Structure 1
């Protein structure tokens, strides 16, 4: 596996990059890749099947100049901002590596990360819900996956130095909640962990033995997919009954 540290100032380009990586691994033109990226400005990313009205505080996002985007994987809405470290694992599907179905992939990757963070924090990290990591019952990582015929992307966020108060200003209480949440507000449910960006990158790279550097994704491909899909209101507002002509 190789590591790619590639971030973009434009939020939608970061989402497009993951889809291109998945397509390249699926077509066997790129080997397994671990990507890291960090947001520069706050923005919301909703899951593929989410309804914007149900998950987001749209007017509050407008007032705070927080844009909303849609990713191509499942899961719920998340707020991206400074203090978040995002990672994406793009892997070929293999029965030997425990990635042959959704459940086995969740188990394989989450247990790997659980062990790495438990060691780094010298404190028991738990797997909660389907794909959350928690410290003392507080969530610090949420994850989602998308699968094609031959490959998958499993991606998520680690909260390191994040302004938790921003969450309740941009996101509604989620439509689907894990039992361990117990109705807690966003800022009472989530936590930062006391690790630096570099230390988390190193522990994830070590966990996946991603010791070599991957070639960057072609910028022109990313721009094309961003313009054709991720920046389009038809994509962002799909499944949402809202007049976005004036947005």
Structure 2
């Protein structure tokens, strides 16, 4: 469902605040499902994580990629995403999700080109924060020397960089004729913690991969060298999406159906061993 007022398309904007890992992933899927049923409009959501969490790409093997026991000791949750890609440590960051029909007039048919459209919103938002980012070119090669486990070690087509370093990681899935793209825009990067809980052949390999990661990734704090309040980051990114996509963002909330479905998905899917140990 999409609402058009003259030439201005109306999308819903939601901030759901802090949630645990299973709840965050369940809400994204609930919005996708309800949008596919025509029950809710295209939606931009901003959210946060408490406690910190590792999200695995859909096809990653938990036992191969992450030390789950150590994560439990450190109070880090682990959850599998609907989307592909590599592991991400979510802590001090703004996480966004975009849910929109594949047939929406703003969305190109291909995954990579739709990435470019959505990255335009992030780019405009970062500019409002004084961060001069750039969109990586299409088909930029990936280094085979870097860890296959960590998301910010690789740069996909049309992802965002600052001074050549990746500042936002995103992933996309398409189901029921609907696009779900979500991504992480970190305020801080805790490379020590990330490379402590990821699995490697040994400590030397982990340290080598961590240094490669730090050479390829950055965060808002490193770029701005100032403490940016959450409200300022959220407002800037919201305005960035609004201006870059040319949509009107109406503040809303989850519907009763989305809330009910998300609660079901938390229990039946995202907190289950069957899902999180899927591969």
Same fold, TM-score > 0.5, yes or no: yes
Within the candidate set 68, 83, 88, 2:97 is matched to: 88
Within the candidate set 117, 126, 135, 1:117 is matched to: 126
Within the candidate set 68, 77, 91, 2:78 is matched to: 68
Within the candidate set 5, 14, 19, 2:29 is matched to: 19
Gaps of 5+ in 1: 174-181, 240-247
Measure the CA separation in 2 of the matches of 1:97 and 1:108. 8
Q: Does 1:221 align with 2:255?
A: no
Secondary structure at 2:49 match in 1: coil
Q: Quote the residue 2:238 is aligned against.
A: 205
Deviation at 1:86, TM superposition (A): 0.6
**Structure 1 residues 86-95 or 58-67, which shifts more?**
58-67
Secondary structure at 2:234 match in 1: helix
* Alpha-carbon displacement from aligned partner over 1:63-98 (angstroms, at most 9, x marks no partner): 3232211011111111111x1111101112226313
Within the candidate set 218, 229, 238, 1:191 is matched to: 218
- The alignment of Structure 1 onto Structure 2 pairs a total of residues equal to 230
Deviation at 1:52, TM superposition (A): 1.5
Q: Is the 8 A contact 1:33 1:214 kept in 2?
A: no
Task: Give TM-score scaled by structure 2 length.
Answer: 0.74
Measure the CA separation in 2 of the matches of 1:123 and 1:7. 27
* Alpha-carbon displacement from aligned partner over 1:97-141 (angstroms, at most 9, x marks no partner): 133221221121123323442453252434242353221222221
* Alpha-carbon displacement from aligned partner over 1:17-70 (angstroms, at most 9, x marks no partner): 000000111111000111111112121110111112332233432432322110
Within the candidate set 129, 133, 144, 2:171 is matched to: 144
Q: Does 1:154 align with 2:181?
A: yes
Q: Is the 8 A contact 2:125 2:241 kept in 1?
A: no
Measure the CA separation in 1 of the matches of 2:132 and 2:30. 36
Measure the CA separation in 1 of the matches of 2:182 and 2:235. 17
Q: Is the 8 A contact 2:34 2:40 kept in 1?
A: yes
Measure the CA separation in 2 of the matches of 1:15 and 1:163. 22
Instruction: Return closer, same or farther for 1:160/1:232 CA change in 2, 3 Å cut-off.
Output: same
Q: Quote the residue 2:89 is aligned against.
A: 79
Task: Give TM-score scaled by structure 1 length.
Answer: 0.82
Deviation at 1:155, TM superposition (A): 0.6
Measure the CA separation in 2 of the matches of 1:129 and 1:72. 18
Gaps of 5+ in 2: 1-10, 137-154, 201-208, 243-247
Instruction: Return closer, same or farther for 1:231/1:108 CA change in 2, 3 Å cut-off.
Output: same
Q: CA RMSD in A?
A: 2.4
Instruction: Return closer, same or farther for 1:122/1:85 CA change in 2, 3 Å cut-off.
Output: closer
List structure 1 runs of 4+ shifted beyond 6 angstroms: none
Q: Is the 8 A contact 1:131 1:142 kept in 2?
A: no
Measure the CA separation in 2 of the matches of 1:131 and 1:167. 24
